[in-house]
Amino acid sequence: MIEIEAITGLILAGGRGSRMGGVDKGLQNHQGMSLAMHAVLRLGGQVGSLMINANRNLGAYESMGVPVWPDSLADYAGPLAGFLTGLEHCETPYLVTVPCDSPNFPDDLVQRLAQALSAEDAEIAMAASYEMQGDAQRLQVQPVFCLMKSELIESLVRFTQSGQRKIDKWTAMHRCVLVPFDDGEAFANANTLEELQQLQSGP
C-alpha cells in the first residue's frame, strides 16, 4: 500500500490556453475562485505535498500557497514538459498529475490510482472514464490524470531530449495500468470559454 505522504501532487497549469484565446486557463474564475485554486483544494487532501507547474503569472500562482515551477523545456512543450518539471522537483517516490482545468475530478482519484499501481506492480497508473459514444459506452483514457514512479525521470529525460512530446508514446514504454471511473463528467475540462461556461452551470 502506498502511503499518502509518499505522493507529491502536481497541478498542470503551464499551457498556452490557445483554445481559450491565449488566456491563462488556471486563473480563470470558476464559481468564485480560480480553476487552479479548485485543483489545489481538491488535490491537497489526497497527497502528501503539492506543487504547480505554470509558465506565466507566477506570482498569482505562488499566492495559492504551494511551490510553483515553470517548464524546464522551452516553447510550451505540452503536458510531458509538466511531467518532467514535476519529476525534477519531486522529493517523494511517487508523483501524481492533474490538469488545472478539470475542477470536479474524483475525491478518491489518488487513492484508486495508488491501489491499482500497487496491485498491478505498474510504473504508471492512469485514469479512464466511461463515456457514451452514440449508443455504446466506451472507455476514454485521461492521460493527464496520472500517477507515476519518480524513478521514471531518467526515461522521460531521454524521451524528451530526443524531441518527442506525445504522452501515450512515452507511457507505452512502461508498465501502465488503466483505472476506470464511472463518472465521465468528473473529468470534464474547460478548453474553451464555452466549455468553462458549461462547467459553471454543472454540479
Complete domains list, the chain, with CATH: 4-200 (3.90.550.10)
- Three-state SS for 53-89 is EECCCHHHHHCCCCCEECCCCCCCCCHHHHHHHHHHH
Quick: pLDDT tens for 65-96.
999 999 987 765 688 999 999 999 999 999 99
- Count CB-CB contacts under 10 A for residue 151: 11
By the 8 A CB rule, do 72 and 81 touch?
yes
pLDDT digit string (tens) for 187-202?
988 777 677 777 776 6
Confidence of residue 17 (pLDDT cuts 50, 70, 90): low
Whole-angstrom Cα distance, residue 82 to residue 73? 9
**Amino acid letter for position 119:** A
